[in-house]
Amino acid sequence: MLAFGGSLPTVPPVTHPAIADGTVVSIHYTLTLEDGTVADSSVGSEPLTYLHGAANIVPGLERQLTGRKPGEKLEADVTPAEGYGEFDPEGEQVVPRKAFPKGQKLQPGMMFHTEGPQGPQPLWVKEVGEAEVTITYNHPMAGRTLRFAVEVLEVRKATREEMEHGHVHGPGGHHH
Ligand code: ZN
CATH number at residue 108: 2.40.10.330
Contact (Cβ atoms closer than 8 angstroms) between residue 35 and residue 50: no
How far is residue 1's CA from residue 17's CA, in Å, rounded to a whole number? Answer: 13
In a shared domain, residues 72 and 154: yes
User: Alpha-carbon torsion 51, 53, 58, 60, what sign?
Assistant: positive
In a shared domain, residues 75 and 150: yes
Q: What's the pTM value of the predicted model, to 2 decimals?
A: 0.79
Residue 1 lies in a domain: no
Q: What is the CA(102)–ligand 1 centre distance, in A?
A: 31
Q: What is the CA(161)–ligand 1 centre distance, in A?
A: 7
Residue 12 lies in a domain: no
Kindly give the confidence (pLDDT) of every residue in the chain, 176 residues in length, as a single tens digit, with 9 standing for 90 and above: 455 555 555 666 667 789 999 999 999 999 999 999 999 999 999 999 999 999 999 999 999 999 999 999 999 999 999 999 999 999 999 999 999 988 899 999 999 998 888 888 899 999 999 999 999 999 989 999 999 999 999 999 999 999 999 999 988 888 88
Q: What is the CA(159)–ligand 1 centre distance, in A?
A: 11
Structural domain span for residue 107: 89-136
Q: Which amino acid is at 30?
A: T
In a shared domain, residues 32 and 66: yes
Helices marked H in the chain: 59-65, 160-165
In a shared domain, residues 79 and 123: no
- Predicted confidence at residue 13, as pLDDT, reads 63
Q: What is the CA(65)–ligand 1 centre distance, in A?
A: 23
Residue 49 lies in a domain: yes
With left for phi above 0 and alpha for psi between -120 and 50, is residue 137 left, alpha or beta?
Answer: alpha
Q: What is the CA(168)–ligand 1 centre distance, in A?
A: 7
In a shared domain, residues 37 and 79: yes
Q: Tell me how many domains the chain contains.
A: 2
Closest CA to 67 of 127, 98, 25, 14: 25
Residue 3 lies in a domain: no
Q: What is the CA(54)–ligand 1 centre distance, in A?
A: 13
Residue 4 lies in a domain: no
Phi then psi dihedrals of residue 170, to 5 deg: 85, -155
Residue 8 lies in a domain: no
Phi then psi dihedrals of residue 41, to 5 deg: -160, 145
> What residues does 31 pair with on adjacent strands?
40, 148
In a shared domain, residues 116 and 150: no
Q: What is the CA(167)–ligand 1 centre distance, in A?
A: 6
- Predicted confidence at residue 11, as pLDDT, reads 62
Residue 147 lies in a domain: yes
The CATH number for 153's domain is: 3.10.50.40
- Predicted confidence at residue 14, as pLDDT, reads 64
- Predicted confidence at residue 16, as pLDDT, reads 72
Closest CA to 58 of 169, 156, 148, 162: 148
In a shared domain, residues 45 and 69: yes
With left for phi above 0 and alpha for psi between -120 and 50, is residue 36 left, alpha or beta?
Answer: left
Residue 110 lies in a domain: yes
In a shared domain, residues 78 and 93: no
Q: What is the CA(67)–ligand 1 centre distance, in A?
A: 25
Q: What is the CA(176)–ligand 1 centre distance, in A?
A: 6
In a shared domain, residues 146 and 114: no
Q: Which amino acid is at 115?
A: E
> E strands of 19-145, at which residues?
23-33, 38-41, 48-51, 73-78, 92-96, 111-116, 119-128, 132-136
In a shared domain, residues 54 and 70: yes
